[in-house]
Amino acid sequence: MIIETLSADVKSVVDRWKDRRGNLITILHDIQDRYGYVPREAALEVSRQMDAPLARIYEVLTFYNYFKLQPPGKFNISVCLGTACYLKGAPALIDEIRGILHVEEGQTTKDGFFHLQIVRCLGCCGLAPVITVGDKVYSAVKRSDVMDIIAEYSKDSVKNG
């Protein structure tokens, strides 16, 4: 990422919203829309341009689950940890994914293919435990299914670059 471009991008967003109430959230929102996450360089730039402490920016970024601090993966894996999914074994699915991909919640694998996120109820509790990969929903997932699901997308990544 070219820093001058980023700086100009952040400036255009800050200029657009600087006179509005609650503008910090809106600004960070716009930045995430643009990059798919909020890069640290962008957070530093917002801090500089708004003359706001970086700690305040990160307070907002970490308070709202919506904000991502890492680039999204090619495939976003969401594991539901709502009550129904939790009771039907979702924690074991998370352990399995962590073990296979070596990522924690909110992280993207080093090759950029997979991003792991934990969500609270995907609205299909009758299918618990549920995970999604991109738009595809996997229901009644067992720990032993996880490797096959990931392998499906790993093949795609290799095929499509």
Q: What angle do CA 40, 80, 98 make, to 5 degrees?
A: 60
Footprint (CB under 6 A) of ligand FES, residues 56-85: 80, 82-85
Q: Does 13 bind ligand FES (CB under 6 A)?
A: no
Q: Does 131 bind ligand FES (CB under 6 A)?
A: no
12: left (phi over 0), alpha (psi -120 to 50) or beta: alpha
| Nearest residue (CB) to ligand FES, 25 versus 121 | 121
Per-residue binding string, ligand FES, 82-111, x by CB under 6 A, is xxxx--------------------------
Q: Does 38 bind ligand FES (CB under 6 A)?
A: no
> Could you give the CA distance from residue 120 to residue 124 in angstroms, rounded to a whole number?
11
148 in helix, strand or coil? helix
Cα-Cα-Cα-Cα torsion 31, 16, 1, 68, nearest 10 degrees, comes to -10
The residue within the footprint of ligand FES, chosen from 125, 133, 137, 147 (CB under 6 A), is: 125
Helical ranges in the chain per DSSP H:
3-17, 23-35, 40-50, 54-63, 83-87, 90-101, 146-160
| Nearest residue (CB) to ligand FES, 57 versus 77 | 77
Position of minimal CB gap to ligand FES: 82
Please report, as ranges, the residues that interact with ligand FES according to CB under 6 A: 80, 82-85, 121-125, 128, 130
